[in-house]
């Protein structure tokens, strides 16, 4: 009886622990199911052309918006031929815009990766090559407009691994893109290109400010010239005033000298006008005095 009781207790404890472990496994299974659903959604996004384009567009827009200020780019800009590229980089100094295309034939790439067998792989590679070359030709014919856009456009690939595989396995596609003036860029290369454009924009702003400073310096030099002319005129007036003052001082010195000479004259007391007597006149009759 004691042995059966101990065995029952041990079995219950083991069953309890097993239930806890099953609960943990069930929760993990739910997480795996949720992740599988997200993977399926991502696969649906990448397999659908429109949603795949939106995925590449969103990643490209994030890179451009993080690297450039507002007003230096425009999404879905309508060109003169009616086409609307995914992004247009507005270059400084009146230069034509740089077009970025965010679409990529990912369906053919996925078919090539999923091909089973040598023949299927070769057929998928050929299809991928044809789709990619056609997309390159479409970019060149739609977005390279003389007098409106740059003679080079970017084809954005939102995956570093696909970018590396293309350059490793499809060198002819890369060369064809170069001859068509289409540059295939990965996210890292696009970020580097955006940094170059940012440097150009900064240099353009510095040049604008330098022109403003140069114009202000020219105005300042004009003001200095006018100030110099006015100072020279004022100096001439001061020179004339100093000459007049010197002449006045000369006159005052002469006056003071003559005043000193006058003051130095000594007059005797018998020669003073008040003490001087009239000379004796002869006595004459009154009539003679009147005649005199």
Give the pLDDT of residue 25: 83
pLDDT at res. 204: 75
Q: Which pLDDT value is given to residue 281?
A: 46
Helices (H), the chain: 2-47, 49-67, 106-114, 118-143, 160-169, 171-179, 187-264, 286-291
Its pTM surpasses 0.75 = no
User: Which residues have a Cβ under 8 Å from the Cβ of 225 and sit 6 or more positions away?
Assistant: none
Q: What is the pLDDT of residue 53?
A: 54
Q: What average pLDDT does this structure show over 132-138?
A: 90
* The two three-digit tokens of residue 136, written as one number: 């390159």
The per-residue DSSP string of 131-153 comes to HHHHHHHHHHHHH--TTTEEEEE
User: What percent of the chain clears pLDDT 70, i.e. is strictly above it?
Assistant: 84
190 has a pLDDT exceeding 70: yes
């Amino acid at each position: 009886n004691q042995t059966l009781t101990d065995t029952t207790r041990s079995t219950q404890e083991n069953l309890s622990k097993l239930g806890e472990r099953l609960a943990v496994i069930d929760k993990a299974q739910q997480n795996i199911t949720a992740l599988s659903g997200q993977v399926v959604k991502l696969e649906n996004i990448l397999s659908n052309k429109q949603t795949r384009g939106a995925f590449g567009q969103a990643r490209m827009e994030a890179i451009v918006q993080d690297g450039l200020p507002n007003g230096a780019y425009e999404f879905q800009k309508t060109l003169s031929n009616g086409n609307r590229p995914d992004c247009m980089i507005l270059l400084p100094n009146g230069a034509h815009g740089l077009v970025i295309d965010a679409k990529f034939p990912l369906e053919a790439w996925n078919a090539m990766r999923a091909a089973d067998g040598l023949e299927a792989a070769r057929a998928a590679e050929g299809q991928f090559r044809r789709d990619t070359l056609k997309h390159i030709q479409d970019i060149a014919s739609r977005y390279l407009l003389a007098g409106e856009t740059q003679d080079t456009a970017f084809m954005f690939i939102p995956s570093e691994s696909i970018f590396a595989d293309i350059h490793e396995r499809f060198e002819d596609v890369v060369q064809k893109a170069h001859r068509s003036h289409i540059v295939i860029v990965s996210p890292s290369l696009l970020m580097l290109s955006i940094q170059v454009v940012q440097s150009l924009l900064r240099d353009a702003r510095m040049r604008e400010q330098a022109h403003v400073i140069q114009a202000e310096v020219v105005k300042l030099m004009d003001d200095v010239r006018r100030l110099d002319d006015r100072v020279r005129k004022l100096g001439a007036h001061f020179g004339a005033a100093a000459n007049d003052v010197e002449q006045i001082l000369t006159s005052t010195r002469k006056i003071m000298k003559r005043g000193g000479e006058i003051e130095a004259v000594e007059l005797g007391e018998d020669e003073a006008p008040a003490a001087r007597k009239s000379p004796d006149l002869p006595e004459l009759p009154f009539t003679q005095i009147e005649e005199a």
